[in-house]
Amino acid sequence: MPPNKLNDLDPKSWLKFQKSWFIHNPPPRRKGVLVHPAKYPETMAQEFIEFFTKKGGTVLDPMAGTGSTLVAALRAGRNSYGIELNPKYAEIANQIIEEERNALGESISNLQSQIINGDANLAGNYQLPMIDYVLTSPPYWDMLHAKGAENQKKRRTGNGLDVVYSDDPNDLGNVHDYEAFLGKLVEIYAGLKPLLCEKAYLTIIVKNVKKGGKIYPLAWDIARELGKTYTLKDEKIWLQDNQSLAPYGLGSAWVSNTFHHYCLQLRNE
């Protein structure tokens, strides 16, 4: 194997990660982050971070939520920064990150991990260092407003669990026009370019969405539009095989049980 310029993995681990699909069933969510209606698991985020950076590198999540990316970065020995619009989630993220730092102890004392309560549109104003890798997941359009969604029904009967991210008009999850939402989202990601090191990768975890009896190809549209700013390198499919099947459209129409996400890989070239 030639000198490894990208990460610290051995050849076997490198090849295993390059498979175009993987199964990852998240562990149960910690009580402190259940309030957030959508998050991806730290265990999965750590695998991406360890592939696309070396130890001591710097990771950014411009839509940090409750801090999954930053926790994963600490565990991987990387510096990390997150931008989160909702002050409640930013506070939860700070608490979780502080707990993680205490648990990891002296081994991560030299690492930075900072949550910025702000707008990802203004990322260039926050005096961030140059970024080696972006790992993030956007709102899946305004689907959290869909009252018929099974997961949302469960959350409405929960104990103080959020159903939507916020009522902030700057929150992309509150933009109900699909094309306007897509345009604003792509603008945010394209605006990160001046902050990224040359050949830095971006991984965007997203899925296509169903609304009003049709599919909106959100993942594919993001890939197409961002491919005008970055180089679209590939996709990696995240599969979940521990979900219960529901009889959508049984006996009358095709309605899939969708248990996969697209992990889009782009590079700043």
For residue 160, pLDDT beyond 90: no
Edge-first strand listing for the sheet containing 260-267: 21-23, 231-239, 260-267, 196-206, 131-136, 58-61, 79-84, 113-117
Higher pLDDT, 174 or 64: 64
Reported confidence tier of residue 239, pLDDT bands at 50, 70, 90: very high
Q: Return the residue matching tokens 């961002």.
A: 226
The two structure tokens encoding residue 188: 């945010």
pLDDT of 84 reads: 96
Specify whether the CB–CB gap between 59 and 80 falls below 8 A.
Answer: yes
Domains of the chain with bracketed CATH: 11-25+34-267 (3.40.50.150)
Higher pLDDT, 246 or 142: 246
For residue 115, pLDDT beyond 70: yes
pLDDT of 44 reads: 95
Cα gap 37→141, rounded to integer Å = 13
Q: What is the tens place of the pLDDT at every residue in 189-228? A: 999 999 999 999 999 999 999 888 899 999 999 999 999 9
Reported confidence tier of residue 152, pLDDT bands at 50, 70, 90: very low
Higher pLDDT, 11 or 140: 11
Reported confidence tier of residue 151, pLDDT bands at 50, 70, 90: low
Specify whether the CB–CB gap between 227 and 266 falls below 8 A.
Answer: yes
pTM listed for this prediction: 0.88
Mean pLDDT of 141-165: 56
Least confident of 9-13, 23-27, 55-59, 118-122: 23-27
Higher pLDDT, 224 or 171: 224
Mean pLDDT of 58-68: 96
pLDDT of 131 reads: 98
For residue 258, pLDDT beyond 50: yes
Mean pLDDT of 154-175: 63
Reported confidence tier of residue 162, pLDDT bands at 50, 70, 90: low
Least confident of 100-109, 162-171, 211-220, 232-241: 162-171
For residue 184, pLDDT beyond 90: yes
Cα gap 137→120, rounded to integer Å = 13
Q: Percentage of the chain with pLDDT > 90?
A: 74
Q: How many CB atoms lie within 10 A of CB 97?
A: 22
pLDDT of 159 reads: 55
Q: Which residue from 202, 210, 256 is spatially nearest to 233, judged by alpha carbons?
A: 202
In the chain, where do the E strands start and end?
A: 21-23, 58-61, 79-84, 113-117, 131-136, 196-206, 209-211, 214-216, 231-239, 260-267
Mean pLDDT of 147-155: 52
Specify whether the CB–CB gap between 36 and 162 falls below 8 A.
Answer: yes
Virtual torsion, Cα 207, 212, 215, 221, nearest 10 deg:
-70
The two structure tokens encoding residue 16: 């295993």
Higher pLDDT, 31 or 15: 15
